[in-house]
Amino acid sequence: MRYQRHIILVLFLILLPCGHSMYAQNSKQKQLETRRQELRREIQKINALRTENKSKEKSQLSLIEDFNYKISVLNNLIKVTNQQANLLTREINNNQKQISNLRDELKLLKDDYAAMIVKSYKSRNQQSRIMFLLSSNDFKQAYKRLQYMKQYTSHQKEQGETIKAKTAQLQQINKDLLVQKEEKQKLITENKKTQRTLEKERAQHRSIMASIRKDLSKYTAQIKSKQREAARIDREIQRIVRAEIAKSNKTTTASNNSASFALTAEEKVLASNFVSNKGKLPWPVEKGFVKARYGKQPSLIDRSLTVQRNGVLITTEKQAKARVVFNGTVIKVTAIRNSNPMVMIRHGNYITVYKNLSKVYVKEGDKLKTKDVIGEVSTNVEGDTILSFSIFKDAQTQNPASWIYRM
């Protein structure tokens, strides 16, 4: 009995890492598939918005931004699909090894079983069994021989069941192997199609860039002008944020010059709830993708230039509704010179800013719930509908991608 327990323990320890490895591979495969589907949906959104704006004449700068973003998404899709195919290759190789090992095991089991059947056939005569028992020297030996005959019969039956189970396991692995090979072939086919699309996008991107390089100084001047205007608007927003902090702190013992909100007990709870939802907040539009990210990035046209953004630019569909990402209070509805209206919403000591609205449906002091509509996003002359979205903690900007779900 002790020997059997040791055998079971050894088999458990051998199989445990294998089971864990299979679980880890399945989990990784699911993550990759989820990401692949997300990227495919993003490409569909880009294509749909391109079709929608096809009749509009776009500037070279805007076109480069569009092509650059789609190329990055296509590259990511190819990378993720390759990772899936490589993981399937490892799974296929593991299953092929398992099939080979199972076949060897089955051969040994069947040979052993066949030998037992032959032996049983030779000793099938009931009289020979009785004589085997009667020829015992004493009762103890006869009892042991009887137990041996029972165990032999039981082992023979178990051997038959083991062969059945191993055969079924082998058949199932063969089925899994066929499915995996089909999945891998689909991924390879899809990746080839994506690669062709990527090459077309790159060719168009190169063509536009060649045109831009002929008059690079003109486009560089445009970028610098846009960056100066964006910086002016960002400074004005930060001034408004600091003014709102000072205005709020007038009702408390905090200094009016403070760069942080002095929070009431209720506001502390709201801020805490906002923080606890970091990375899980909904998008400020129902459909869209990030066209330009937060922080400093080199210009797509002139790599010697740096573009700074205090928020993200989200491309969405025409007449898209902007919506609040968390419970809060509208503290400002305004339009900065040379820009469309914006709405600022406070969540404790956090503020979310929604810029470039054509219509505003809320007013200062309104209490809003998550996903409440605050306005309609403006569409520019080139046909792009872009929401500028920012997050502040007190007077400091935050990266929206860290707060919004899968941004």
- In 3D space, the residue among 401, 271, 378 whose CA is nearest the CA of residue 329 turns out to be 271
149: burial class by Cβ within 10 Å (0-12, 13-18, 19+)?
A: middle
* Dihedral of alpha carbons 153, 155, 158, 162, sign: negative
- Give the predicted TM-score (pTM) of the model: 0.70
Return d(Cα 29, Cα 33) in angstroms, integer.
6
Residue 395, phi then psi, degrees to nearest 5: -100, 5
Q: What is the mean pLDDT of the chain?
A: 84
Q: How confident is the model over 58-98, as pLDDT tens digits?
A: 788 888 888 988 999 999 999 999 999 998 888 888 878 88
Nearby residues of 260 by Cβ (< 8 Å), 6 or more positions away: 245, 254, 349, 394, 395
- CB-CB contact of 74 with 197 (8 Å): yes
**What band does 136 get if pLDDT is binned at 50, 70 and 90?**
low
Asked if residue 70 lies in contact with residue 201, where contact means CB atoms within 8 angstroms, the answer is yes
Percent of the chain with pLDDT over 90: 47
Range in 121-130, 280-289, 373-382 the model is least confident about:
121-130
232-255: average pLDDT = 87
CB proximity list for 194: less than 8 A, separation 6 or greater: 74, 77, 78, 81
Q: What is the pLDDT of residue 157?
A: 67
Mean pLDDT for 262-276 is: 96
What pLDDT score does 369 carry?
A: 98
Q: What is the pLDDT of residue 149?
A: 57
- Nearest one of 235, 362, 368, 383 to 318, comparing CA atoms: 383
Which tens digit of pLDDT belongs to each residue from 315-361? 999 999 999 999 999 999 999 988 999 999 999 999 999 999 999 99
pLDDT at 127: 47
Q: Which residue has the higher pLDDT, 70 or 26?
A: 70
How confident is the model over 357-368, as a mean pLDDT?
Answer: 98
What pLDDT score does 7 carry? 38
User: What pLDDT is recorded for position 123?
Assistant: 53
The separation between the first and the last C-alpha atoms of the chain, rounded to the nearest angstrom, is: 59
Q: What is the mean pLDDT of residues 95-110?
A: 76
Structural domains of the chain, with CATH: 2-213 (no CATH), 216-402 (2.70.70.10)
pLDDT, tens digit, for every residue of 152-191?
566 666 766 776 777 777 778 778 888 888 989 999 999 9
pLDDT tens figures, 389-403: 999 999 999 999 999
Higher local confidence (pLDDT), 296 or 256: 296
Residue 358: the pLDDT is: 97
Q: Where are the alpha helices (DSSP H) in 293-396?
A: none
Where do runs of H (alpha helix) occur along 250-319? 265-276
